């Protein structure tokens, strides 16, 4: 018998980090003397590993330049965090949902385009890091929608595809779930529209944390 596992994306699913992400990406582009992308363009690539996100924003440029811009993004984000300017509030109801899942015996994980350091700082700040048995980040995996993060999370938790659910706000999360053979549930409060999540293969899209709990199977 395998364990039941819920894997959450982080940015746009657990926390609303859009203001910090947009600010850091704007600073990164300014550092390389390029006009910053529009806010919606930046949000459209949240969830991808950072060099992949930059590649989407700068088509026609090479991988070395993507890494260069990504380094500037990391520098900007670190400076913002050191200055207390990073804003990553939990979405409404997330703390209660995590507690309810834990009480029901679900194991919890995260699969995110964040770095190990960024994810640990975020979850520790909110006092929920101990709730998660597996944390998978861009530092150790190919970018979403490759299924590597989900595969490792299931291995860590002793779960199978049939007993695993992936929760995310972007098409990259849902496509990753499809590629891993697990059920993907979208959330409507993040950075990609619900219709795109459904087109990408989401079994359902929740409009709030209570509806998400029902879709997962929490009474």
9 is catalytic: yes
- Cβ pair 109, 6 in contact under 8 A: yes
CB neighbours of 137 closer than 8 A, spacing ≥ 6? 110, 112, 113, 114, 115, 116, 118, 119, 149
Q: Where are the beta strands (DSSP E) in the chain?
A: 3-8, 107-111, 134-136, 159-168, 183-187, 204-206
> Which one from 11, 16, 169, 173 is the annotated catalytic residue?
11
Give the Cα separation of 124 and 175 in Å (integer). Answer: 28
C-beta pairs of 195-201 under 8 Å, 24+ apart in sequence: 196/171, 197/169, 197/170, 197/171, 199/171, 200/171, 200/174, 200/175, 201/174, 201/175, 201/177
Q: Are strands 107-111 and 3-8 parallel, antiparallel or unpaired?
A: parallel
Question: Which of 9, 16, 169, 173 is flagged as catalytic?
Answer: 9
- Residues forming the active site: 9, 11
């Amino acid at each position: 018998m395998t364990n039941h596992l819920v894997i959450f994306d982080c940015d746009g699913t657990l926390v609303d980090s859009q203001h910090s992400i947009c600010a850091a990406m704007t600073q990164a582009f300014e550092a390389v003397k390029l006009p910053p992308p529009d806010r919606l363009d930046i949000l459209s690539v949240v969830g991808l590993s950072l060099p992949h996100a930059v590649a989407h924003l700068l088509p026609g440029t090479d991988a070395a330049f993507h890494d260069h811009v990504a380094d500037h993004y990391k520098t900007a984000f670190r400076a913002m965090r050191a200055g207390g300017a990073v804003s990553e509030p939990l979405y409404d109801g997330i703390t209660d949902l995590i507690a309810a899942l834990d009480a029901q015996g679900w194991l919890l994980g995260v699969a995110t385009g964040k770095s190990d350091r960024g994810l640990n700082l975020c979850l520790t700040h909110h006092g929920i890091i101990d709730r998660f048995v597996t944390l998978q980040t861009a530092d150790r995996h190919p970018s979403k929608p490759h299924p590597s993060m989900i595969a490792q999370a299931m291995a860590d938790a002793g779960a199978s595809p049939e007993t695993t659910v992936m929760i995310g706000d972007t098409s990259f999360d849902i496509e990753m779930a499809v590629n891993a053979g697990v059920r993907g549930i979208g959330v409507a409060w993040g950075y990609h529209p619900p219709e795109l999540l459904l087109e990408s293969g989401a079994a359902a899209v929740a409009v709030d944390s209570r509806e998400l709990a029902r879709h997962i199977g929490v009474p």
